[in-house]
Every structure is written in C-alpha cells, then in structure tokens.
Amino acid sequence: MDEPALVIEPLGSHHDRAAFSCAEPALDSYLQRQASQDIRRRVARVFVALGDAPEKIAGYYSLSAASFEKDELPPALAKRLPHYPVPAAILGRLAVDRTCQGQGLGETLLLDAIRRVVRASVTLAVYAIVVDAKSDRAVGFYERYGFRAFASERRRLFLPLETFERLGL
C-alpha cells in the first residue's frame, strides 16, 4: 500500500493545533497560542506538514525576515560583506509531533523552508538562513545540513544561501 503524500501548507484555522505535541513545551505552546497572532501581525509565516488526516499537524516551522551585523560571522565570510546589516531569513521554529519523530520529517521541513527562502530571494535579497537552536541536539541537527555557528553564540547558526544553491536541491 502506498504511503499518503505529505502536504506542507500555510497554517490555517482548520488545522488542529491543540493536538500537536513534540518534546519541547515552548514549541508546542508557540503553535497552540502564538503562531496565529504572529501570522496576523505579519511577523512570521508558519507552515505545517500534514500526513494522514488533513487537519492533523505532523510538524511545522516558522519563517521571518531579519538582519544581522557582519561582525557576527567568521572573519573569512565577514570580510566579503558590506558594512551595513546583512539580510537574512529566520527559521524561528521547527518541530515534529511525537508520533512522527524519527521518520525524516525534520529534514523534509528544513529543506522545504530553505527552498521557500531561496525562491523568495529572487525578489528580496537574503544572504543566509539563521536558526536559534534550542538544544545541543538541535545544533547537531542543523550542523548536519551545513549550518555554522555565529562567532558570538554557539547555538545561533547560519547557512549562506549560496551553500544550498551549490547543492542544487
């Protein structure tokens, strides 16, 4: 029997946010209490992965625009950038429901987020995607995909878009 196709779409009022539960209470709380407000205020876009049931959220991530000072980067990268804030996209949150963990959904969500940012960068300049990892385990997850730590904060990581574009994914 074929597995149902995974759908990733913007968070809507018909999605069952209350049933979502991952290993991180702050990520559960964000989806259940804050995500809709952030969308309405235009400070974040939230995308959900749906599996078997069209309203059940298997995982989600959020994206926002941001910038950072080039001095936060390793010197070899910083020297190639201008002396004004560097445009970025923030992957603010990424979480997978407990029932779907260990099946590669985190990677699928991450790649979907990066692809969306790459498409947006055709219209709006974006140098890198930035994440603030909640744990050392999360740092390891992002590092496997080429993210590197900022000079000043070990759990704040970045991925220059050119790195991803070179892979052709």
Domain ranges of the chain: 7-167
The overall average pLDDT reported for the chain is 90
pLDDT for residue 152 = 80
Work out the pLDDT band at 2, boundaries 50, 70, 90. Answer: very low
- CA 154 to mean position of chain CA atoms: 17
Closest CA to 131 of 8, 27, 9: 27
pLDDT in tens, 59-102: 999 999 999 988 888 888 888 888 889 999 999 999 999 999 99
Which CATH code, of 3.40.630.30, 1.20.1300.10, 3.40.50.720, 3.40.50.12280, is assigned to 7-167?
3.40.630.30
Kindly report the pTM of this predicted structure: 0.90
Closest CA to 59 of 17, 25, 89: 17
Tell me the backbone φ, ψ of residue 118, rounded to 5 degrees.
-60, -45
Q: Which residues are catalytic?
A: 142
pLDDT for residue 3 = 53
pLDDT for residue 168 = 58
Please give the angle made by the CA atoms of 6, 127 and 156, to the nearest 5 degrees: 75
Residue 30: pLDDT over 90: yes
Residues 67 and 88 sit within 8 Å (Cβ to Cβ)? yes
SS3 of the chain: helix, strand, coil, percent, to 5: 35, 30, 40
